[in-house]
């Protein structure tokens, strides 16, 4: 009864203009819309456009013709998909929190929709230029790591929690001397009673430098600086002062404002920013409601991360193959516009981002993973490294052996005949 009475008083109008041609200054969103009972997709889309721009649920005396000109416009409806154009005047440049509050805000809670998913965004140049973008991007990371052609290989120290600072650093050392390029903290490891942030960074950087001298290879450590914003910035400065080149941050737990503050601080620190997407599935998993991983990845690229987790296709994390491929290509600037819901952008001077694949990977996945996503990826192995029958160092060796095999066009099983670490890994996880 209440919903029926409410809908009689909802009067957004003029927001559906199917003949409208978006301008270069429009921000364009594509939504999947599941309308509430008794409503058409057209009517539901009209409410979405109104609520996310200038409208409200009833006529108001303060609405003028001049204001109506900057209202959002639904210009395409195909099935349950609607495209909405937003004049750039609706957004504060350089303020990602305000932008997302508009296009991914109140609209998800409206009663006249049963489901709503923000699938993709086309960003106008004026807004794109107001964000810093990555400091290093793919090419910059390759210069720092001195890995020119193959995928970067890494691990996450396991167990996630429980190791003290020296134990953590020792595990990292074993992975590095085994052949891995990168070691990173896990997403929920910060400043613990049993593992203090400053001491962990100091100990692990010391072991990193030891591994570099012994192997002759550049090694990378990604300490997790995620915290309250001012503390996070302090930790980032400590990482820099410790002689390290990288940091890691949980982007969704930190929020867009915190991530922008970290990127702003990084103008002087010049650290590679590794973005972990912990918690993303609360937004991305439901195909009929929420926000796509593509939107989160593009937003993070604009703000300025250099690497971001996107999924694996072959590992333990949920994620459709086509979606993961699209995100990797968009981050790398090789997107082929094959799907109607992918709007795509011309990123211009905004550097490409390294896609990170993590979650249930082991050496036996590497051939399929590289066939699907190519060489411009960072592969992170947790249990798939430390769970090797002979330990972390052997796990690192098995991973590098598998990468070398694929890079040289050799079947993993054939390569395992002369590489014992790979053979044992394939035996355990085949």
Per DSSP bridges, beta strands 354-358 and 307-309 are parallel
Where do the domains of the chain lie?
2-128, 137-429
Per DSSP bridges, beta strands 152-156 and 182-184 are parallel
| pLDDT at 312 (0 to 100) | 83
- 1-32 tens-digit pLDDT: 334 434 444 456 689 999 899 999 999 999 99
| pLDDT at 288 (0 to 100) | 96
Which of 276, 351, 386, 388 does the annotation list as catalytic?
Answer: 276
| pLDDT at 69 (0 to 100) | 77
- 270-325 tens-digit pLDDT: 999 999 999 999 999 999 999 999 999 999 999 999 999 998 887 655 568 889 99
**pLDDT score of 54 more than 90:** no
Structure token digits, residue 317:
């994390």
* Alpha carbons 235 and 249: distance in angstroms, whole number: 11
**pLDDT score of 168 more than 90:** yes
Lowest mean pLDDT among 54-68, 107-121, 340-354, 408-422: 54-68
158 catalytic? Reply is yes
The better pLDDT of the pair 7, 228 is held by: 228
| pLDDT at 334 (0 to 100) | 78
Is the domain spanning 137-429 CATH 3.20.20.110? The answer is yes
Mean residue pLDDT of the chain comes to 92
pTM: 0.93
Mean pLDDT of 105-127: 96
* Alpha carbons 52 and 71: distance in angstroms, whole number: 9
148 catalytic? Reply is no
| pLDDT at 326 (0 to 100) | 93
- 174-218 tens-digit pLDDT: 999 999 999 999 999 999 999 999 999 999 999 999 999 999 999
Three-class secondary structure of residue 115 per DSSP: strand
pLDDT bracket for residue 60 (50, 70, 90): low
CATH of 2-128, one of 3.20.20.70, 3.40.50.2300, 3.40.50.880, 3.30.70.150: 3.30.70.150
Residue entry with tokens 């790979």: 422
Share of the chain above pLDDT 90, in %: 85
Which of 158, 309, 329, 397 does the annotation list as catalytic?
Answer: 158
**pLDDT score of 393 more than 70:** yes
Residue entry with tokens 């590679």: 272
For 26, phi then psi, to 5°, come to -90, 140
14-18, 61-65, 257-261: which is most confident: 257-261
| pLDDT at 8 (0 to 100) | 43
| pLDDT at 16 (0 to 100) | 96
| pLDDT at 346 (0 to 100) | 81
**8 A C-beta contact, residue 273 and residue 230:** no
| pLDDT at 257 (0 to 100) | 98
């Amino acid at each position: 009864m209440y919903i029926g009475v409410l809908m009689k008083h909802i009067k957004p109008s003029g927001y559906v203009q199917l003949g409208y041609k978006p301008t270069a200054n429009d921000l364009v969103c594509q939504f999947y819309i599941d309308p509430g009972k008794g409503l058409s997709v057209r009517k539901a889309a009209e409410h979405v456009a109104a609520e996310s721009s200038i409208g409200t649920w009833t006529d108001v005396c303060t609405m003028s013709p001049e204001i109506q000109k900057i209202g959002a416009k639904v210009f395409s409806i195909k099935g349950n998909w609607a495209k909405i154009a937003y004049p750039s005047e609706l957004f504060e440049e350089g303020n990602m929190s305000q932008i997302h509050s508009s296009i991914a805000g109140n609209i998800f809670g409206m009663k006249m929709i049963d489901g709503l998913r923000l699938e993709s965004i086309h960003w106008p140049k004026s807004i794109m230029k107001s964000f810093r973008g990555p400091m290093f991007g793919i090419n910059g990371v390759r210069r720092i790591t001195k890995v020119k052609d193959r995928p970067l290989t890494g691990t996450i120290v396991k167990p996630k929690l429980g190791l003290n600072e020296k134990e953590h650093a020792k595990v990292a050392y074993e992975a590095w001397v085994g052949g891995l390029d990168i070691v990173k903290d896990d997403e929920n490891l910060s400043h613990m009673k049993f593992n203090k942030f400053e001491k962990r960074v100091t100990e692990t950087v010391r072991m990193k430098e030891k591994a570099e001298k012994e192997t002759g290879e550049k090694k990378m450590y990604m300490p997790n600086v995620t915290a309250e914003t001012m503390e996070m910035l302090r930790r980032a400065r400590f990482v820099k002062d410790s002689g390290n080149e990288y940091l890691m941050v949980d982007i969704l737990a930190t929020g867009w404002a915190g991530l922008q503050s970290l990127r702003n601080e990084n103008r002087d620190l010049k650290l590679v920013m590794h973005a972990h997407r912990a918690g993303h599935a609360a937004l991305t998993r439901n195909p009929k409601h929420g926000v796509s991983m593509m939107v989160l990845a593009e937003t993070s690229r604009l703000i300025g991360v250099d690497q971001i987790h996107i999924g694996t296709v072959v590992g333990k994390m949920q994620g459709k193959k086509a979606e993961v491929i699209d995100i990797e290509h968009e981050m790398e600037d090789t997107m082929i516009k094959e799907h109607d819901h992918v709007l795509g952008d011309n990123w211009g001077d905004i550097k490409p981002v390294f896609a990170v694949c993590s979650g249930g990977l082991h050496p036996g996945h590497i051939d399929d993973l590289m066939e699907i996503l190519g060489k411009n990826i960072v592969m992170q192995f947790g249990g798939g490294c430390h769970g090797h029958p002979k330990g972390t160092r052997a796990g690192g060796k098995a991973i590098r052996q598998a990468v070398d095999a694929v890079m040289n066009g050799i079947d993993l099983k054939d390569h395992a005949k002369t590489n014992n670490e790979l053979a044992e890994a394939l035996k355990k996880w085949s």
